[in-house]
């Protein structure tokens, strides 16, 4: 008989929830999403960055778009390490949940077959 497996979290689930809450509950567009690329981040938030750039430079047109992109790129570079960590934590948690669900299914099936054998 196999020894019971002890679930080990590399990062506590509370840490994942706290990181998610920091990013998910923010209504500000300058917050990134796990797995988001710079291109996607800018496409989703470009108006915010252009307005922010316009407040400081009063540029218009192509210069304004470039200034907005520069602001978005700087913010994205700040967020990237945290977003990558969050994506890793989410993937680890998902894998552990799937493993737990698979283990539960095996236990149920084992109990059913044990019960069927004992009834015969």
pTM listed for this prediction: 0.57
Q: For 38-80, write each residue's pLDDT tens digit.
A: 999 999 999 999 999 999 888 999 999 999 999 999 999 999 9
Q: What angle do CA 89, 80, 93 make, to 5 degrees?
A: 10
How many domains is the chain built from? 1
- State the residue range of the domain holding 103: 36-119
Residue whose C-alpha is closest to residue 35's, from 94, 97, 91: 91
Q: Taking Cα atoms as reference points, which of 78, 77, 13, 69 lies closest to residue 46? A: 69
Residue at 87 is within a domain: yes
Any domain includes 9: no
Interval 94-114: pLDDT, tens: 888 888 888 777 766 666 665
Answer yes or no: is 21 within a domain. no
CA distance linking residue 112 with residue 118, whole number of Å: 10
Residue 89 placed within a domain? yes
Torsion region of 58: left, alpha or beta (phi above 0 gives left; psi -120 to 50 gives alpha): left
């Amino acid at each position: 008989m196999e020894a019971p497996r002890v679930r080990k979290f590399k990062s506590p689930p509370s840490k994942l929830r706290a990181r998610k809450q920091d990013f998910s509950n923010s209504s500000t567009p300058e917050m990134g999403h796990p797995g988001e690329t710079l291109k996607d981040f800018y496409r989703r938030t470009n108006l915010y960055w252009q307005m922010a750039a316009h407040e400081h430079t009063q540029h218009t047109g192509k210069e304004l778009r470039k200034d907005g992109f520069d602001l978005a790129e700087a913010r994205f570079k700040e967020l990237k390490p945290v977003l990558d960590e969050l994506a890793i934590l989410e993937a680890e948690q998902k894998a552990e949940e799937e493993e737990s669900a698979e283990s539960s299914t095996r236990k149920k099936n084992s109990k059913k077959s044990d019960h069927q054998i004992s009834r015969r």
